[in-house]
Amino acid sequence: DIDPSVEDTRENAASKEIFEGEIKELFTKERLTDDKAILGIDVSKWNRDIDWNKVKSAGIDFAIIRCGYRGSSTGALVEDPYFLKNITNAKAAGVNVGVYFFTQAINEVEAVEEASMVLMLCKSKELDYPIYIDTEGAGGSGRADQLGKEMRTKVCDAFCKTIQNGGETSGIYASKSWFDNNLIMSELSDYEVWLAQYAKEPTYEGTYGMWQYTSSGNVDGIATRTDLNLSYHDYSKGWKTNGQD
């Protein structure tokens, strides 16, 4: 049996990057005055049961739903136990959907294995948003925590290429410092970027299509604190990866 307390150890790296000017309150209405910004959330089993009709009524247009993860200790591939319920009910409520997978791959072979699992889980799900690889730390003791920049870049490239070969748009989720220090972004320009940085304005100098700006959102229909995101592309209307912001 898989012990989630040992295996499911995604670390919210963006929270470690909070600096002076951090969002103390949510300025959602002001941010939506940007005519390109679309408000969305990302969720996993940690958000427990969700009333997706209330979420939609609260003004949420899209949700990036975790479909699974690789165990930080054993390396086992695990489907998020809320994935099927979340994606089915979100779509039924009219919320556009994408997915993410928390990687602990230590080489390209494992990255392809992860992406293949994601494609299988998403078969016939009619995604509106990209499939993202979530690359971040697992508390320092995760099996992939000590990867070098070159191998970590190869892992992301192999995952994203496999997703695109499967006919889906692919992308990479990470914090600003992770993009800056742990990946060679010049080798990943073919893929979408989902930036996590909790600040009034992002300071990441690369291109990005989506910005996770807080992990402390309050959304009707969700009992827990929720990550909030702004998308600068309407992926649901046929946006395809081209490496442009």
Per-residue pLDDT tens digits for 162-200: 999 999 999 999 999 999 999 999 999 999 999 999 988
For residue 173, the model assigns a pLDDT of 98
DSSP, residue by residue, 5-34: HHH-----GGGGG--TT--SS--HHHHTTS
The mean predicted confidence, pLDDT, of the chain is 88
For residue 53, the model assigns a pLDDT of 98
Range scoring the smallest mean pLDDT among 8-17, 52-61, 203-212, 229-238: 8-17
For residue 24, the model assigns a pLDDT of 34
pLDDT at 26 over 90: no
| Backbone angles phi and psi of 138, in degrees to 5 | -125, 45
Neighbouring C-beta atoms of residue 107, cutoff 10 Å: 14
Which residues of the chain form beta strands (DSSP E)? 38-43, 62-70, 77-79, 96-102, 131-134, 170-175, 192-196, 210-217, 226-231
Contact, 198 vs 176, CB < 8 A? Answer: no
pTM, rounded to two decimals: 0.88
Decide: helix, strand or coil at residue 239: coil
pLDDT at 18 over 60: no
